[in-house]
């Protein structure tokens, strides 16, 4: 029937478009090529409607009918592996290969059965249902899943249920006894259309997830200092703004500390920039260990770092700064030269901008350096004149 041909052609074109879209996203994001797995899955899945279209043309119907099953199973099981790879959960290739081999063996076992029998269709559709159920389960196991993940997992559950229901509809409406009769049946139009729509919806949601991940990672890269892994100035300002707004709305104090490595230029001049970079990475790790949970830590540039303490008054900010100073002085490694730090601390006044508080912390830092370095200085409280200037 012409209707079945159109449905098959549409499914072929859509699978090709999804494969190309995932490949484009992967190639546009050299740091993460996981989308290529989805592209491969859709390329394999595309072989199913393509084979059925060839069956419709009357070319080797038995061979291409079997190849349709082999290709579609491969595409769906590769999708489980693709999702596992996307969510950093494997994949467990032995399990995927075992399930796929079991599907092929079951398909071979029913090869001579008439296709209009319920038993044939149950065995035929079960691997599809199992693979799509596994897709939904992998997504549900992902940590930090959002609305898109929940929607996609639910959709895969619907797809699995639809594969389980198909044998009963096939038996009721008639699918013919061979692949050629199936392609010519009215049921083929409905089956290919419904399955196509469901898999298109799954593909769109998956593409949204991949694009969302790519955008998030690009944004993270733009807001992260590549050397230390801390926030850069832009990332720190963006992350700090909502925290400061919330603290002010709830009447909580907040403190900022500027940290500068003492005589860092001497380290670069004496030991080289490679050692200097290692010192910066080492100190960044030290900052992560010594600052309390919830503190925001960033690198402003060069050897200067910043710490934002939400809910911390000036006295607590000084204690944290002193812990950082002592940790830097006491933690000596054989590989690196010893370091000390100077720190300026300022509590952010209620009506003061963050930039004004940073300026006062910088003045305190300068005072710590002029007093001999390796010390913490606390900025005086902001005056009304300074706040409104």
Residue 313 lies in a domain: yes
**26 and 107 both lie in a single domain:** yes
**375 and 315 both lie in a single domain:** yes
* Least confident window among 2-11, 43-52, 140-149, 235-244: 2-11
Assess whether pLDDT exceeds 50 at residue 388. Answer: no
Residue 228 lies in a domain: no
pLDDT of residue 375: 96
Q: What is the pLDDT of residues 243-263, one digit of tens each?
A: 999 998 899 999 999 999 999
**290 and 241 both lie in a single domain:** yes
Domain boundary among 186, 202, 222: 222
Distance CA(305)–CA(320), nearest Å, equals 14
Q: Catalytic: which of 112, 217, 250, 303?
A: 303
283 near 370, Cβ under 8 Å?
no
**239 and 174 both lie in a single domain:** no
**218 and 237 both lie in a single domain:** no
**195 and 242 both lie in a single domain:** no
The stretches of the chain forming alpha helices (DSSP H) are 2-28, 35-56, 61-86, 93-109, 118-141, 147-173, 179-183, 186-222, 233-249, 264-271, 273-290, 314-330, 354-370, 384-387
Helix (H) or strand (E) holding 261: strand 254-261
* Residue 303 appears among annotated catalytic residues: yes
Residue 67 lies in a domain: yes
Assess whether pLDDT exceeds 70 at residue 3. Answer: no
Domain boundary among 222, 247, 271: 222
Residue 165 lies in a domain: yes
Distance CA(389)–CA(353), nearest Å, equals 11
CB contact set of 288 (below 8 Å; sequence gap of 6+): 297
pLDDT of residue 382: 64
Domain boundary among 200, 222, 244: 222
Domain that holds residue 370: 233-387
Measured between its terminal Cα atoms, the distance across the chain in Å is 80
pLDDT of residue 4: 63
What DSSP letter does each residue of 101-158 carry, written as one string?
HHHHHHHHHTTTS-TTSHHHHHHHHHHHHHHHHHHHHHHHHSTT--HHHHHHHHHHHH
Using a pLDDT cut of 70, give the percent of the chain over it: 95
**If pLDDT is split at 50, 70 and 90, which confidence band does 383 have?**
low
**215 and 253 both lie in a single domain:** no
Assess whether pLDDT exceeds 70 at residue 387. Answer: no
Q: What is the pLDDT of residues 255-295, one digit of tens each?
A: 999 999 999 999 999 999 999 999 999 999 999 999 999 89
The overall average pLDDT reported for the chain is 89
CB contact set of 95 (below 8 Å; sequence gap of 6+): none
Q: What is the pLDDT of residues 287-328, one digit of tens each?
A: 999 999 989 999 999 999 999 999 999 999 999 999 999 999
Residue 227 lies in a domain: no
Higher pLDDT, 353 or 381: 353
Residue 258 lies in a domain: yes
Using a pLDDT cut of 90, give the percent of the chain over it: 64
pLDDT of residue 1: 47
**96 and 115 both lie in a single domain:** yes
Taking residues 174-186, what's their average pLDDT?
73
User: What CATH number did the domain enclosing 383 receive?
Assistant: 3.30.70.270
User: What CATH number did the domain enclosing 218 receive?
Assistant: 1.20.1070
Number of domains in the chain: 2
Higher pLDDT, 31 or 186: 186
**64 and 210 both lie in a single domain:** yes
Taking residues 220-236, what's their average pLDDT?
93
pTM for the model: 0.74
Residue 359 lies in a domain: yes
**If pLDDT is split at 50, 70 and 90, which confidence band does 66 have?**
confident
**158 and 240 both lie in a single domain:** no
**If pLDDT is split at 50, 70 and 90, which confidence band does 49 have?**
confident
**174 and 257 both lie in a single domain:** no
Residue 242 lies in a domain: yes
**209 and 273 both lie in a single domain:** no
């Amino acid at each position: 029937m012409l209707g079945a041909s159109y449905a098959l052609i549409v499914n072929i074109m859509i699978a090709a478009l999804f494969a190309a879209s995932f490949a484009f996203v992967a190639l546009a994001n050299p740091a993460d090529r996981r989308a290529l797995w989805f592209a491969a899955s859709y390329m394999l899945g595309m072989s199913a409607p393509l084979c059925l279209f060839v069956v419709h043309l009357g070319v080797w119907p038995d061979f291409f009918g079997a190849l349709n099953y082999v290709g579609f199973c491969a595409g769906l099981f590769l999708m489980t592996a693709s999702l596992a790879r996307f969510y950093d959960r494997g994949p467990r290739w032995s399990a995927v290969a075992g399930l796929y081999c079991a599907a092929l063996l079951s398909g071979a076992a029913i090869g001579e059965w008439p296709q209009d029998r319920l038993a044939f269709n149950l065995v035929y559709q079960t691997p599809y249902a199992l693979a799509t159920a596994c897709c939904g389960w992998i997504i549900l196991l992902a940590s930090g899943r959002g609305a898109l993940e929940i929607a996609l997992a639910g959709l895969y559950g619907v797809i699995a249920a639809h594969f389980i229901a198909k044998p009963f509809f096939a038996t009721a409406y008639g699918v013919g006894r061979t692949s050629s009769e199936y392609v010519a049946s009215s049921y083929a139009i409905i089956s290919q259309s419904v399955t196509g729509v469901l898999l298109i919806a799954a593909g769109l949601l998956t593409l949204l997830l991949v694009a969302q991940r790519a955008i998030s990672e690009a944004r993270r890269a733009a807001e992260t200092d590549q050397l230390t892994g801390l926030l850069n100035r832009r990332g720190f300002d963006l992350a700090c703004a909502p925290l400061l707004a919330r603290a002010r709305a709830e009447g909580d104090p907040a403190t900022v500390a500027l940290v500068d490595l003492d005589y860092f230029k001497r380290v670069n001049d004496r030991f080289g920039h490679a050692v200097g970079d290692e010192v910066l990475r080492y100190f960044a790790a030290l900052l992560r260990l010594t600052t309390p949970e919830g503190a925001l830590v960033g690198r402003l540039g060069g050897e200067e770092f910043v710490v934002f303490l939400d809910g911390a008054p000036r006295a607590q900010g000084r204690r944290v700064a002193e812990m950082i100073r002592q940790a830097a002085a006491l933690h000596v490694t054989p590989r690196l030269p010893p370091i000390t730090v100077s720190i300026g601390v300022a509590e952010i006044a209620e009506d003061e901008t963050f930039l004004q508080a940073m300026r006062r912390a910088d003045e305190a830092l300068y005072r710590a350096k002029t007093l001999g370095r390796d010390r913490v200085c606390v900025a005086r409280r902001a005056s009304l004149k300074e706040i409104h200037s």
